[in-house]
Amino acid sequence: MITVSFYGNGLAANNTAAVLRGREGVEVRGPYGRDERDAALRSGADVVVIATTSFLAQVADDVQTAVEAGSNVITTAEEAAQPWANDPAIADRLDALARERGVTILGAGLNPGFAFDALVLTVCGAAPEVESLLVERVVDLSGFGETVLRRIGVGHTREGFEEGKRAGTVTGHIGFPQSMRVVAERFGVEIERIDAEIEPVFAERELCGRSITVAAGETAGFRQHYVALVNGAPWFEALFTGHLVPAEIGLEPRDAIHVRGPAELHFFAQPGLNPQSGTAAVLANSVRRVVEARSGWVTVGELPPAVPR
């Protein structure tokens, strides 16, 4: 029997807990909210799933508490997918603690954790050589919760979006540098610089998502363009369009991975990977591989594929 405890009582935790409850040999505890932190983190469950925020610094204490209680940890915090990309001091400290306690820490979800990293690496396995990568993703944002939507950039006026960008409260999707580094590590190449752009996409009429209604003239989505340079040239380009109703801007959800090289390779998923069910699946399917992994802080780049078992 594997015990799995959830900290954070939101969408990702509840969707993942529902998947795991349907599996034999897994006991689910929670999801627990903020007022049940000890129950969530200190029970010594085999795996603690922390699905609270996106930011490494904000989950660091929670990860530490769970590791000290002897649990393996999976966190959805995007910055935790490759924590050395954000804060090497936190990453080194918790990596050392996990090694000492003989447990594993993993940052994962659908993105980062699959769409821009694990899947890209798998697709590259069918390419004789890789000169550069272009990964595109169009995401239907209508199923996200309000907190996440506002933070990534939906439901703002033009001024509010720009002000939020400056203040760091509007971030767009977080996780490109982490995914890019996970891929680069497997290739043994060093990223010199990552250029990043984000631009708002405005609603032309009132639009509704599960948790939010956006007025005409407010942001219904955004476009992001990230380019990682290796040896002075673009090596990994990421294009991400998120929208409450992608059809409003003539798009439909899709994922595309273009591998450039002597034999070009183009991989498409249409409709694209579902952010909610995809995240729940990657998390649920990571429980056993985290239990079996080496100790320390690992990335999806070094683990076997996540499979439902």
Ligand X SMILES: NC(=O)c1ccc[n+]([C@@H]2O[C@H](COP(=O)([O-])OP(=O)(O)OC[C@H]3O[C@@H](n4cnc5c(N)ncnc54)[C@H](OP(=O)(O)O)[C@@H]3O)[C@@H](O)[C@H]2O)c1
The residues binding ligand X (CB under 6 A) are 8-13, 33-34, 51-54, 58, 76, 78, 109-113, 145, 147-148, 279
For 116, 136, 157, 160, 257, the CA distances from 186, given in Å and listed in that order, are 13, 20, 41, 39, 17
Least Cβ distance, residue 262 to ligand X (angstroms):
33
- Helix 275-284 to helix 11-21 angle (10° resolution) is 60
Closest distance to ligand X from the beta carbon of 80 (Å): 8
Helix (H) or strand (E) holding 152: helix 146-152
Cβ closer to ligand X: 10 or 70? 10
Q: Which is nearer to ligand X, 48 or 110 (CB)?
A: 110
Least spacing, CB of residue 293 vs ligand X, in Å: 18
Helix, strand, coil % (nearest 5) of the chain? Answer: 35, 30, 35
Residue at shortest CB range from ligand X:
10
The smaller minimum CB distance to ligand X, of residues 118 and 130, is found at: 118
Q: Which is nearer to ligand X, 130 or 174 (CB)?
A: 174
The partner residues of 134 in beta bridges, in order of sequence, read 237, 258
Residue 145 C-beta: closest distance to ligand X, Å: 4
130/148 with CB nearer ligand X: 148
Residue 14 beta carbon to ligand X: minimum distance, rounded to whole angstroms? 8
Contact 297, 72 (CB under 8 A): no
The structure tokens 């007025």 sit at 215
Q: Is 107 or 246 the residue whose CB approaches ligand X more closely?
A: 107
- What residue has token string 């821009």? 116
- To the nearest whole angstrom, how small is the minimum distance from the Cβ of residue 98 to ligand X? 19
For residues 257 and 116, the answer to whether their CB atoms sit within 8 Å is no
Q: Name the residue type at position 7.
A: Y
How many contiguous H segments (helices) and E segments (strands) does the chain have?
Answer: 10, 14
